[in-house]
């Protein structure tokens, strides 16, 4: 009996001590995507941050998928309570900044908008700047439509080199044909080049611009997909299925096809490479920069689908002070380097791009991307409010219908144009004060150029 009282007394003492310690701390929660490179990156940053700030507890709560994460964030904003920090995608910034659902981060995190323009990758100025305020902190993340993910073993078996960049689309198609495999009936059993990822319309947009075309009218503030350049670009992707037959709707979607050894190459966002190294260590993947659509030119690419950390408008008091400290650390060169070790992408500060990390370290696969950006290949398609709706609910479903044989190329372009402009009209009714979208078709202005 005496020993039981002793045990109870000790338990009470431990709980009391823990409570006393907890009382002196401020606790904040972060919602992020349950994607290994993101979770590992935030975990590493959080650990380093709490060592520097022992008075703050940071709880990381990964969410199972992008749709689930977005739904949870929208519900929290509507209810006026939830996590202190959200990890969202670039298109959400304008959607939430216009109605004031999130808080500006200048001057608490960034000294000024001009400082961001001078020091960070240009997409953060272009997408995060509203009313002379900056609204998000980016995490290391590579531009989504810069290249092709390849299975190294498949290329080696076919005697094909893992180049740094494809010379032109002819070489890309030649690789795809040599890698594709068929059964005795002539049915595709391994895709030579997969084009079945919901982010793939980003490649389509860039290939329109590669030809000197435009899919957005800056003056009319409207989409225009029924152009010769758009038809050429979409025909290229159509022909992967119906002419070259290096992909098939009988194959799994791109991500699954790659890790099931059912695709040798794929139009895929580059951070899938470090993801596979973590999750599928026995498989060997690499990254080859995509070719330009027009021979002899440099390929153009954009980075509208960045991942960022946002602070909801309901965060206040001690929790806001703690959240701001976390954002300051994440935005710093030190914080970005910590994240980079777990998620090899492009950090937001341009000063880090010349780091050996991108020459001999984990980020070496991005060296040709950085070189191309410095040579003027980078553009920014947007920002469009509710751009994730355009991408996932309009553009990709239309293209997906085309590759399933439900729409012709011309019908797909018409549907994309009509539905996109209907979405723009709906958005303007919802957010009448949304700023105009201006795209620098001929290249970024001098004060945004990457040097």
In this prediction, residue 416 has a pLDDT band, given cuts at 50, 70 and 90, of very high
The region, left, alpha or beta by phi > 0 then psi within -120 to 50, assigned to residue 32 is beta
80-105 tens-digit pLDDT: 999 999 999 888 898 899 889 999 99
- Strands 26-33 and 85-89 turn out to be parallel
Mean pLDDT of the chain: 92
Output the pLDDT for position 451.
78
What tokens were used for 131? Answer: 């009313």
Task: Report pLDDT for 431.
Answer: 85
Mean pLDDT for 54-71 is 92
Cα-atom radius of gyration of the chain, to the nearest Å?
24
Question: What is the mean pLDDT of the segment spanning 244-271?
Answer: 96
Residue pair 186/246 in contact by the 8 Å Cβ criterion: no
Q: What share of the chain is helix, strand, coil (3-state, %, to 5)?
A: 45, 15, 40
- Beta strands 56-63 and 26-33: pairing type? parallel
pLDDT over 70 (residue 113): yes
DSSP E strand stretches across 108-187: 129-130, 133-134, 137-138, 147-151, 181-182
pLDDT at residue 19 greater than cutoff 80: no
Distance between CA atoms of 60 and 105, rounded to whole angstroms? 21
Specify whether the CB–CB gap between 343 and 37 falls below 8 A.
yes
Percent of the chain with pLDDT over 90: 79
pTM (predicted TM-score): 0.90
Report the pLDDT value the prediction gives residue 23, as an integer from 0 to 100. 58
58, two tokens? 């940071």
Phi, psi of 9 (to 5 degrees): -65, -40
Note if the bond before 383 is cis, omega within 30 degrees: yes
Token code pair at residue 399: 């293209």
Calpha distance 191→181 (Å, rounded): 7
For the cut 60, the answer to whether the pLDDT of residue 392 exceeds it is yes
């Amino acid at each position: 009996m005496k020993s039981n009282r002793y045990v109870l007394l000790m338990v009470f003492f431990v709980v009391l001590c823990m409570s006393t310690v907890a009382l002196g701390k401020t606790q904040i929660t972060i919602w992020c995507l349950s994607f290994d490179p993101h979770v590992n990156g935030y975990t590493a940053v959080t650990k380093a941050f709490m060592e520097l700030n022992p008075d703050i507890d940071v709880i990381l709560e990964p969410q199972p998928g992008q749709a689930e994460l977005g739904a949870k964030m929208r519900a929290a904003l509507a209810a006026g309570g939830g996590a202190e920090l959200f990890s969202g995608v670039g298109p959400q910034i304008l959607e939430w900044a216009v109605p004031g659902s999130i808080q500006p981060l200048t001057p608490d995190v960034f000294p000024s908008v001009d400082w961001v323009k001078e020091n960070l990758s240009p997409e953060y100025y272009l997408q995060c700047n509203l009313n002379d305020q900056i609204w998000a902190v980016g995490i290391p993340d590579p531009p989504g439509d810069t290249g092709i993910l390849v299975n190294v073993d498949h290329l080696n078996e076919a005697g094909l080199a893992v180049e740094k960049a494809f010379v032109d689309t002819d070489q890309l198609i030649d690789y795809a044909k040599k890698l594709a495999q068929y059964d005795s009936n002539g049915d595709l059993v391994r895709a030579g080049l997969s084009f079945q990822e919901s982010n793939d319309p980003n490649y389509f947009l860039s290939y329109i611009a590669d030809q000197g075309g435009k899919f957005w009218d800056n003056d009319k503030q409207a989409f225009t997909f029924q152009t010769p350049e758009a038809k050429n670009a979409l025909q290229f992707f159509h022909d992967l299925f119906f002419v070259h037959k290096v992909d098939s709707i009988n194959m799994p979607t791109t991500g699954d096809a790659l890790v099931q050894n059912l695709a040798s190459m794929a139009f895929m966002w580059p951070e899938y490479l470090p993801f596979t190294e973590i999750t599928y260590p026995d498989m060997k993947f690499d990254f080859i920069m995509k070719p330009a659509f027009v021979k002899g030119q440099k390929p153009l690419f954009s980075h509208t689908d960045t991942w960022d950390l946002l602070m909801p408008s309901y965060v206040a008091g001690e929790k806001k002070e703690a959240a701001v400290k976390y954002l300051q650390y994440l935005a710093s060169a030190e914080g970005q380097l910590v994240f980079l070790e777990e998620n090899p992408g492009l950090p937001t500060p341009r000063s880090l791009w010349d780091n050996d990390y991108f020459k001999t370290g984990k980020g070496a696969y991005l060296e040709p991307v950085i070189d191309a950006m410095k040579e003027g290949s980078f553009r920014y398609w947007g920002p469009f409010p509710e751009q994730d709706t355009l991408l996932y609910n309009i553009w990709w479903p239309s293209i997906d219908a085309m590759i399933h044989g439900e729409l012709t190329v011309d019908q797909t372009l018409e549907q994309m144009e009509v539905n996109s402009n209907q979405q723009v009209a709906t958005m303007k009714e919802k957010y009448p004060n949304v700023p105009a979208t201006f795209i620098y078709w001929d290249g970024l202005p001098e004060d945004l150029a990457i040097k």
